[in-house]
Amino acid sequence: MKVKRIPTGIPGLDKLINGGFKERSINLVAGGAGSGKTIFAIQFLMEGLRNGEPGIYITFEEKKEKLYSDMLAFGWDLKKYEKKGAFVFLEYTPEQVKRVLVEGGGTIDTIITKIKAKRLVIDSITSFALLYKDELTQKEASLALFELINKWGCTAVLTSQETENGKVISPALEFEVDSIILLYHTKVDGVRKRGLEILKMRGTKHPSKTFEISIGKKGLVVHEKMLKF
C-alpha cells in the first residue's frame, strides 16, 4: 500500500524525503537556539492551513501575541486562521501536559475533534522531558504522549532544543520518533551559516549529507549546496 505523504511547506526539503513526512508520523526537529525550529514548525502548520488542514500549536515557551507578530514577518497571519476556527494556539506548562497524559487527552482531545486537526506541533518537547528525572520515566511519558498523538490521528512535529551538555535529542525520544531532522546554526570560517541534516526517517530513503539552509521573507529554504563544517 502506498504511503501518503504530507508536504512540509519547506522549499527544497520534500524532494529529499519522497514528498514529505509520512501521514500520521511523529517527527522531531532538533537544534540550538536561533537554529530555526519554531519557524520550521509554523511553516509546516501554515502549509496545512493554506490547504484546508486545521492545525494546533502547543507551546511551553512562546507567548501568543509575540509569536503572531513575529510570524507576520513571513506573511503568516495565524490570527486569521484562528478566527476561522482552523488554528488553535495553546500555551501549556509541562505540568499541564503531564496532566493531559493522565487524563488520556483532556482539553486537547476536545479541540482536535472540534476543529478536525490534521497537523500538530509541540514546541518544545525539551521542557516536558525535563519533568522526568530518569531515562526510564522519560521514555514511559514519551510513549504515553506518542500514543495520544497516534490516537488523535495528526501528523506531528515536535521541536527539541539543545541542552547545557550540548545534546539536542533526549535518548528517550530518539528511538521512538519516526524521523529526526537536525538544524544547525554554526560558524564556518568566521561566518554564521545554517544547515539541515536528516538524521533518520523511517521508511524513507534520504540523503545523509548536511544541506545549507536560509531564512528569508517566506521562511526557511533548503538549498542543494552542502554545508561544510
DSSP per position, the chain: -PPPEE----TTTGGGTTTSEETT-EEEEEE-TTSSHHHHHHHHHHHHHHTT--EEEEESS--HHHHHHHHHTTT--HHHHHHHTSEEEEE--HHHHHHHHHHTTHHHHHHHHHHT--EEEEE-HHHHHTTSSSHHHHHHHHHHHHHHHHHHT-EEEEEEE--TTS--S-HHHHTTSSEEEEEEEEEETTEEEEEEEEEEETT-----SEEEEEEETTEEEEEEEEP--
pLDDT value of position 83: 97
Instruction: Kindly state the percentage of the chain with pLDDT values over 70.
Output: 95
- Range of lowest pLDDT (15-29, 128-142, 203-217): 128-142
State the amino acid at position 65 in one-letter form: E
User: Do 34 and 20 meet the contact criterion of CB atoms below 8 Å apart?
Assistant: no
Q: Which three cell numbers stand for residue 191?
A: 561566518
Highest mean pLDDT among 8-12, 94-98, 223-227: 8-12
pLDDT value of position 93: 83
- Reported as a single tens digit per residue, the pLDDT across 150-177 is 999 999 999 998 755 556 666 667 778 9
Checking if the pLDDT of 134 tops 60, the result is: yes
Q: What is the pTM of this model?
A: 0.94
Per-residue confidence band for 129, with pLDDT thresholds at 50, 70 and 90: confident
For residue 111, the enclosing domain spans 5-226
CA distance 165 to 147: 29
pLDDT, mean over the chain: 90
Determine how β-strand 219-226 pairs with β-strand 87-91: unpaired
Total count of domains within the chain: 1
Q: Which residues contact 79 (CB under 8 A, 6 or more apart)?
A: 68
- Reported as a single tens digit per residue, the pLDDT across 14-61 is 999 999 999 999 999 999 988 999 999 999 999 999 999 999 999 988
- Range of lowest pLDDT (7-11, 134-138, 156-160, 168-172): 168-172
Q: What is the CATH number of the domain that holds 200?
A: 3.40.50.300
Q: Which of 182, 155, 159 is nearest to 48 (CA)?
A: 155
pLDDT value of position 77: 98
Per-residue confidence band for 99, with pLDDT thresholds at 50, 70 and 90: confident
Give the mean pLDDT of 139-152: 88
Q: Which residues contact 197 (CB under 8 A, 6 or more apart)?
A: 181, 182, 184, 209, 210, 211
Q: Which residues contact 49 (CB under 8 A, 6 or more apart)?
A: 55, 81, 86, 87
In terms of Cβ atoms closer than 10 Å to its own Cβ (0-12, 13-18, 19+), residue 145 is buried
HSE-up (13 A, CA, CB side) for residue 23: 9
pLDDT value of position 164: 52
User: Do 28 and 149 meet the contact criterion of CB atoms below 8 Å apart?
Assistant: no
